[in-house]
Chain A
Amino acid sequence: MSETDTNTDGSEEARTDGGGPGIVAPDDETPTWRERKERTTGLSRLTYEYFERARREDQDLRTESDYVERDVLAFPTWPHETVRNLSIVAFFTGMIFFLAATMPPHIGAPANPSSTPAIILPDWYLYWSFGLLKLGPLNPDLAILGGQKLTADRTYGVLANVVVVGVIAIVPFLNKGSARRPVEQPFWSAVGVGGVVFALTISLLAVKNLMPMNVHLLFDLTFLLPIVATTITYAILKTMREGYMYDLNRRYYRLRPPK
């Protein structure tokens, strides 16, 4: 209908504005938006199908759920978490001002390129990174290269930084599953404790010229202590898990029996 109309219009009248408004009233032939979406092909079709599925899935979850609105296993950020935080945070802001008033920073001598100070240190939160720069003794010298090192000690240290950050970044892709508490995942908690201890020991290695102990012993302890801490944590959490999970499961499954 509309097609024939436009055809006749075009042949009969001379139009000065280059055509009508281009908007045709929908008739029975005109596809609805839903139909248009369904008729698409390729990626847009896939996108449409996925959204439809996701919507249906959400709807099913909602009908099944006894929650008021959503089925997310989390605190709502507002108001539960925000209100709690505001009070705690107010206290700690006071703490910042208290620290600032009682322990103001001082400024050292002006920069002097010709005199290197005995102790060069970054701020405390970079000690770990600074410590990683001192891993020279771990840099393997290859027999093939005649005792040469593959990378300079310095490059090795920078590389260690990249490795540490990279390992932390991929944790969510290694540790799957729904366990949330340390007791439920002894291995990963132990790894975490090991990481924290390593951050501390490597920081101590960074300030080795201030440490009143043998440097070689310090270097060894830097790597041994984290391993010891990991093992102990793992043992403790494994032991705790027995009784703990029993209790937790009992109260959890009494309220929501497994399907």
Chain B
Amino acid sequence: MSLEKKDEMDHKGWMKRKDLTPVEATFLTALVWMDKRLRIVDYLELMENLYYKVNMQMPKSHTEQYDLDNKFWYWYPLYALGSFSTLAYVVAAVSGALLGFYYAPAQAGDPSTAYNSITFIMTDLQFGFMLRSIHRWSAQVMVAAVFLHMLRVYFTGAYKEPRELNWLLGIVLISLTMVFGYTGYLLPWDQLAFWAGQIGVEMSLSIPLAGEWIAQLLFGGFTLSQATLQRMYILHVFLLPFVVTTLIAIHIGIVWVQGIAEPH
């Protein structure tokens, strides 16, 4: 008999006694190792719960229960518009990241650097023309899908009672989508971009009281310059992606919790 105090939680001895297969032994060793460090046990109940919920039999939807499927099957494609805009967003994000490797607004001085880097992407870069095309089209498609998604939600009354907050969140998202589009539109710094920017400055200047402050903040001055381009660039590639991605996650999370509202 050993003098050493016996460890009540002698996991190694316990594993030896159990006569495990190599797979089980490896699994348990890894689990014990992780648990000692991360206290997985505390979350085990949570995970079990999730596991059973995932495998639970799904309830009949309203449509199935009352056999209404033949009544509004034609709505179904419209129900995919939300997914579709998310997907277009992902495509835009990926192609945008790739474009970002090559596009650069100048830090200071002449904004024509931006125009030149677009020209480079479109004429010299392998696959660059297609890349820009994909980025632009996915952005266009996303905006269109988001608009149509909003119409679908409106006409099927899906914004009603438990879902008002998600409707508000959706309005924030559609606005941010358009801001995304606007800032992106300005980045090539061609004639269209410049004069669209001019309109933007004038719009923000015409806001009572805060107008000049907003113009300074968003456009870096009352006339367009390198500062404007730089700010639009940071908005487009740094600020908006974080904000919009987070909001989309919340938006979809709420949909997940509440279920898809059917017309009935």
Interface residues, chain A, with chain B CB atoms under 8 Å away: 67-70, 72-82, 84-86, 88-89, 92-93, 95-97, 99-101, 103-105, 107-113, 116-117, 120-126, 129-130, 133, 151-152, 154-155, 157-158, 165, 168-169, 171-173, 175-182, 184-185, 188-189, 192, 196, 248, 251-252, 255-256
- Whether A93 pairs with B91 at a CB distance below 8 angstroms is yes
A126 touches B181 (CB 8 A): yes
Q: Please tell me if the beta carbons of B263 and A181 are within 8 angstroms of each other in the complex.
A: yes
CB < 8 Å neighbour of B190 from A101, A111, A192, A256: A111
Main secondary structure of the interface of B (DSSP, over half): helix
Contact B66 A251 (CB under 8 A): yes
Our pick among B76, B141, B155, B188 for the contact of A182 (Cβ within 8 Å) is: B155
In the complex, besides A88-B84, A111-B189, 15 extra interface pairs with C-beta distance below 8 angstroms are A74-B258, A76-B259, A78-B256, A89-B83, A103-B137, A108-B190, A110-B115, A110-B191, A111-B193, A121-B192, A155-B206, A158-B203, A180-B156, A251-B66, A255-B67
Residue in contact with B88 in the complex, picked from A77, A96, A129, CB distance below 8 Å: A96
CB proximity of A71 to chain B, nearest CB, Å = 8
- For chain A, what secondary structure do more than half of its interface residues adopt (helix, strand, loop), or is it mixed? helix
The answer to the question of B222 belonging to the interface, with a C-beta cut-off of 8 Å to chain A, is no
Show 13 A/B contacts (Cβ-Cβ < 8 Å), sorted by A.
Answer: A77-B259, A88-B77, A100-B136, A107-B190, A111-B111, A165-B171, A169-B167, A169-B171, A171-B167, A172-B164, A180-B158, A251-B68, A252-B264
B182 interface residue (CB < 8 Å to A):
yes
Kindly identify which residue among A73, A76, A111, A123 contacts B58, using a CB–CB cutoff of 8 Å.
Answer: A76
Interface residue? B240 (CB, 8 A) = no
- Please give, as numbers and ranges, the residues of chain A lying within 8 Å of B255 by CB-CB distance: 77
Across the interface, A79 reaches (CB within 8 A) one of B58, B59, B256, namely B58
